[in-house]
Amino acid sequence: MMILDDSIPVWLLMALATPTAFYILRSLLFHYTSLSSIFRRWLSLLQDHLHSYNLYRIPRYNPHSQENHLFCRISAYIKSLPSLEDSDFVSLYSGDKPGDIVLSLDSDRPVTVLDAFLSARITWICQKNELVLKIRSRDKKRVLLPYIQHIHKVAEDIEQRKNKELRIYLNRSLGSGNDIDQQWKSFPFVHPSSFDTVKSKVKGDLELFLKSKQYYNKIGRVWRRSYLLYGGSGTGKSTFAAAMAKFLSYDLYDIDLSKELDGSALKMLLMQTTRRSLILVENLDWYLMGKSTAVSLSAVLNFMDGVVSGCGEERVMVFTMNCKQHIDPLVMRPGRVDVHIYFPLCDFSGFKSLALSHLGIKDHKLFGQVEDLFQNRPQLSPAEISEIMISNRTSAARALKLLITTLESNGDAKELDKVQVQHRLNASGRERVSDDSDGSGSGNKRESVNPIREIQKFYGLIRLKNSKKEDSTDHLDSN
């Protein structure tokens, strides 16, 4: 046996003993925690056998395939519970900000979440498309109704806090299956558009719509408003629709009609949209004028104001077109389209707004020349002018000079087309006069000249020349 010398310092003995003591303490705590967890599980099972319970199902969708608003509110409430972190099989996702972790209930396996209210123990069993409320029978009358009211209040507070966290929904192709969850895919709706420069009449109309629930109910109409945004490409229709959604704080549902949707599929998509949402259908004229066979006119009409469209309130529907002149009047009638908003090509006033926002200038010595060109020459779209300014944002003078050159070349090409067409028409007219004055008696054998066909042929020559000119210009730019 080794006998310790009295000369060994006490602090050395304590240092040697500390790791051993720490290991023993950690082992005891681990076993205690494990035993405690096992004990709590056995106690919970024992209580389940000793008490009777009532179970209540909250499905995600009602029998009409519409989303159950109570399900949405309860889901938001459960996600706010601190006990969710202690539950098994909770899905973890990265948040919008770096380092954020979001807990979700979309696991394929049931997730059990515990809650307490008025000294009553409440259990939630969460599945993908269903929630089950488990409460003791003796507590049902005392707790159930106040607990549901408590959930509504908490969910409303959560909804107000997340009022600015909007989402955009895109419809998927319906040929892959009948799963109702696979028909929409959502993403955070982050768009820089704002309503600061929007016409005050439109802004006032939207504000009045938000306050008109009682009025719509009084006159017997669905609380819904529809807008048609029409104008050339690049005039800002899509940006305007995004600004409307942000102003209203509505989620945006962007419906793609090229997904080969029939009438029933469109109705199903519409029924699955939630309240306080903006439903956007872009390039509607493309589908209505027969340029695409993905959707029929009757399906579009039923989508716009059919019986199913009245199943959801507090919605705004927005349709965009490049031109509405050749659209069936049935589509344009009030009730299907309430407000028509025209988006013209850029004028001088719009140019000054773009110059201020893109180049940071309110005035310039070249503004006078630009104004003259806008008055005498064909105009460009805001998107075209915006691109010129963005590409030359480091030099306002260079951007303005390039814009002037573009306006001049665009106007010269138009004038040249008009002159050449008129010259061709005059030549065609002289040929007809010469043929008619011929006295040889062969007028019955002469083929008549079709002026419309001559114009079409000449326009083909003009387009060919313009395309060659553009190809040569692109070649020079690339060099």
pLDDT in tens, 132-156: 999 999 898 999 999 999 999 888 8
Cα-based torsion angle of the residue sequence 185, 186, 191, 193 in order, rounded to the nearest 10 degrees: 80
| Mean pLDDT lowest among 189-198, 212-221, 374-383 | 189-198
Q: Got the DSSP string for 38-87?
A: HHHHHHHHHHHHHS-EEEEEEESB-TTS-B-HHHHHHHHHHHT-GGGGGS
Kind of pairing, strands 224-231 and 315-321? parallel
Lowest-confidence segment of 75-84, 93-102, 321-330, 344-353 by average pLDDT: 93-102
Neighbours of 300 (CB within 10 A): 23
- In the block, tokens 């419809």 appear at 171
Q: Residues near 148 by Cβ (< 8 Å), separated by ≥ 6?
A: none
Residue 414 pLDDT exceeds 60? no
Rounded distance, CA 24 to CA 22, Å?
5
Q: Does the pLDDT at position 448 exceed 60?
A: no
Query: What pLDDT is recorded for position 148?
Result: 93
- 186 vs 406, higher pLDDT: 406
Q: How far is it, in rounded angstroms, from Cα 465 to Cα 473?
A: 12
- Please count the other Cβ atoms lying within 10 Å of the Cβ belonging to residue 35: 10
The side-by-side arrangement of strands in the sheet containing 120-127 is 53-59, 130-136, 120-127, 111-117
> Which of residues 308 and 418 earns the better pLDDT score?
308
Mean pLDDT in residue range 86-100: 70
Give the best-scoring range by mean pLDDT among 249-253, 255-259, 289-293, 455-459: 249-253
Confidence at residue 435, expressed as pLDDT on a 0 to 100 scale:
46
Mean pLDDT of the 163-185 span: 64
Give the lowest-confidence range in 48-57, 112-121, 394-403: 48-57
* Residue 40 pLDDT: 60
Count Cα atoms within 13 angstroms, Cβ side, for 200.
0
Q: Return the pLDDT at 28.
A: 55
Cα separation of 273 and 253, whole Å?
7
Domain with CATH 3.40.50.300 in the chain: 167-343
Identify whether the C-beta of residue 345 lies closer than 8 Å to the C-beta of residue 379.
yes
Mean pLDDT (the chain) is: 74
Cα–Cα distance, 471 to 468 (Å, whole number): 5
Contact yes or no for 217/131 (Cβ under 8 A): no
The residue among 287 and 411 whose pLDDT is bigger is 287
Task: Check residues 424 and 108 and name the one with the higher pLDDT.
Answer: 108
CA distance 277 to 389: 34
Write down the pLDDT at residue 147. 94
Would you state the pLDDT for residue 397?
Answer: 92
Supply the pLDDT for residue 144.
92
What does the alpha-carbon distance between residue 256 and residue 235 come to, in Å, rounded to a whole number? Answer: 20
Kindly report, residue by residue over 54-84, the tens digit of the pLDDT.
999 999 888 877 888 899 899 889 888 888 8
Percentage of the chain beyond pLDDT 70 is 64
Nearest-angstrom CA–CA distance, 310 and 305: 7
Least confident segment among 126-140, 182-196, 230-244, 374-388: 182-196
Mean pLDDT throughout 397-421? 72
- pLDDT score, position 305: 78
- The type of residue at 230 is Y
Strands 130-136 vs 53-59: parallel, antiparallel or unpaired? antiparallel
> Alpha-carbon distance 257 to 192, whole Å?
25
Q: How far is residue 349's CA from residue 352's CA, in Å, rounded to a whole number?
A: 5
Least confident piece of the model among 159-168, 230-239, 350-359: 159-168
Higher-confidence residue: 264 or 260?
Answer: 264
Residue with more model confidence, 226 or 326: 226
Closest-CA residue to 365 (of 397, 340, 394, 387): 397
Judge: domain 167-343, CATH 1.10.3260.10: no
Contact criterion met (CB below 8 Å) for 359 and 389 = yes
CB 94 within 8 A of CB 88: no
Residue 3 has pLDDT above 50, yes or no: no
Please give the pLDDT value at position 469: 42
* pLDDT of residue 291 exceeding 80: no
pLDDT for 21 equals 57
Give mean pLDDT, residues 40-66. Answer: 77
Q: What does the pLDDT read at residue 195?
A: 59
386, 351 Cβ separation under 8 angstroms: no
- Give the burial class of 367: count Cβ atoms within 10 A of its Cβ; 0-12 exposed, 13-18 middle, 19 or more buried: middle
Report the number of secondary-structure helices (H) and strands (E) in the chain. 15, 13
Report pLDDT for 200.
Answer: 63
257 or 105: whose pLDDT is higher? 257
User: Which residues fall within 8 angstroms of residue 121, CB to CB, at 6 or more apart?
Assistant: 114, 136
- pLDDT value at position 433? 40
Q: What is the pLDDT of residue 446?
A: 37
If we measure between CA atoms, which residue out of 230, 424, 182 comes closest to residue 341?
Answer: 230
* pLDDT-derived band at 127, boundaries 50, 70, 90: confident
pLDDT of residue 357: 86
